[in-house]
Amino acid sequence: MSAARVTIRLFEQQDAPQVRELFITVNRLLSPPTLREVFESYIARSLEEEIDRIPAYYGARGGGFWVAVRDQRIVGMFGLESAGPGSLELRRMYVDPSVRRSGIASMMLQFAEDECRRSAARKIELSTSELQPAALALYRRSGYRLLRETIATDASNKTIGGGVRRYYFEKVL
C-alpha cells in the first residue's frame, strides 16, 4: 500500500466507530502482558474522556482531529490541541497495523506540521512511549528534539502510567 492513495481529512461523526476501533486495536497491541490490566483501564478512560467525544474534546482545546482514509477505510488518525501560546501538541497518531511501514505516519506527521503552520503555531510538541520504537525513530528522523524522559506513574487520558518510560519532543516550525 502506498501513502499516495491515502487522503487526510477532518474527522466526521460517522468516523467515530472506526476511530474507536483503531484506538482500541493499537493500544491492545502495544500492551505488554504484564500491563494488560493497566492498558484496559487506560483504554476505558481515554474512550470516555476523549475518543468517544472527539469534536467536544478537541474543540474545547483549540484543536482538531484528522483521519487518513484509503478506500473508504480509516487507516490512520491524529489530533492537535493547544499546548500554550504558539504551540500545538500532536496527539493520538496511530496507523492501522495492517498498513504500517507504507509512509502513512510520515504523511500524517507532515500534514500535522503544515496544519500547525497554517494556524500560526511556531512549535509542535508530542510525547510517546518506549513501547513505540517506530514512532520514536520517526520523530527523531523528522527533526524532533528530545526535551525530556520520564517514568509515567500516574494514569490519565495522555499516559497509561504503570512505570512506562515516556519521551517528550518538540520541533520549532
**Mind spelling out the 3-state secondary structure of the chain?**
CCHHHCEEEECCHHHHHHHHHHHHHHHHHHCCHHHHHHHHHHHHHHHHHCHHHHHHHHHHCCCEEEEEEECCEEEEEEEEEECCCCEEEEEEEEECHHHCCCCHHHHHHHHHHHHHHHCCCCEEEEEEECCCHHHHHHHHHCCCEEEEEEEECCCCCCCCCCCEEEEEEEEEC
Of the pLDDT bands very low, low, confident and very high (cuts 50, 70, 90), residue 35 is confident
How much is the pLDDT for 1? 46
% of the chain residues with pLDDT over 70: 92
- The CATH number assigned to the domain holding 75 equals 3.40.630.30
In this structure, what C-alpha cell is assigned to residue 125? 510538541
Domain assignment of residue 104, yes or no: yes
Scan for cell 486495536, then name that residue. 25
Does residue 50 or residue 157 have the better pLDDT?
A: 50
Domain assignment of residue 149, yes or no: no
Domain assignment of residue 152, yes or no: no
Domain assignment of residue 51, yes or no: yes
Domain assignment of residue 60, yes or no: yes
82 with 88: CB under 8 angstroms?
yes
How many domains does one find in the chain?
1
Domain assignment of residue 90, yes or no: yes
Mean of the pLDDT values across residues 4-28?
Answer: 96
How much is the pLDDT for 161? 65
Scan for cell 501538541, then name that residue. 89
How much is the pLDDT for 153? 73
Provide the residue range defining the domain that includes 117.
Answer: 3-126
How much is the pLDDT for 11? 98
Kindly report which listed range (14-23, 61-70, 133-142, 147-156) carries the lowest average pLDDT score: 147-156
How much is the pLDDT for 156? 59
Domain assignment of residue 85, yes or no: yes
Kindly report which listed range (14-28, 43-57, 150-164) carries the lowest average pLDDT score: 150-164
Domain assignment of residue 45, yes or no: yes
